[in-house]
């Protein structure tokens, strides 16, 4: 019986060491994954900022959409940004971009 007890203890110790090694490996993999994820998020953020700037300069002052409603007063400044005239159903690029981005994130 003592042999069985001693043998069981050594198995428990081996299993604990194996679990500890696996947990350490998992922790390292999580750290590496977080680093890669952070780098990709910075790259995506930079790319979208550059694209937004480029498209904003291309479509500056141009009507890109006709809204089926008149936006609320406090949104009209954004929806009619840099557009000529008083037709508040005309939509600027930045407002359409914001609407599309919000709908995609939902």
User: What DSSP designation does 64 have?
Assistant: -
pLDDT over threshold 90, residue 106: no
* Per-residue pLDDT at 11: 75
Least confident range from 4-18, 24-38, 44-58, 90-104: namely 4-18
The domains of the chain are located at 1-58, 60-105
Q: Beta strands of the chain (E only): which ranges?
A: 65-66, 90-91
Residue 63: pLDDT above 90? yes
Mean pLDDT value across residues 20-29:
96
> Higher-confidence residue: 57 or 2?
57
CA triplet 65, 67, 73: central angle to 5 degrees?
120
Give the pair of three-digit tokens for residue 52.
Answer: 């937004």
Model-wide pTM > 0.75: no
């Amino acid at each position: 019986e003592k042999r069985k007890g001693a043998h069981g203890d050594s198995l428990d110790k081996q299993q604990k060491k194996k679990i500890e090694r696996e947990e350490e490996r998992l922790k390292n993999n999580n750290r590496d994954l977080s680093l890669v994820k952070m780098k990709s998020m910075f790259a995506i953020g930079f790319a979208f900022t550059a694209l937004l700037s480029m498209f904003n300069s291309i479509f500056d002052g141009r009507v890109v959409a006709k809204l089926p409603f008149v936006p609320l007063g406090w949104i009209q400044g954004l929806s009619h940004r840099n557009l000529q005239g008083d037709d508040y159903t005309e939509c600027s690029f930045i407002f359409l971009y914001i609407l599309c981005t919000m709908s995609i994130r939902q």
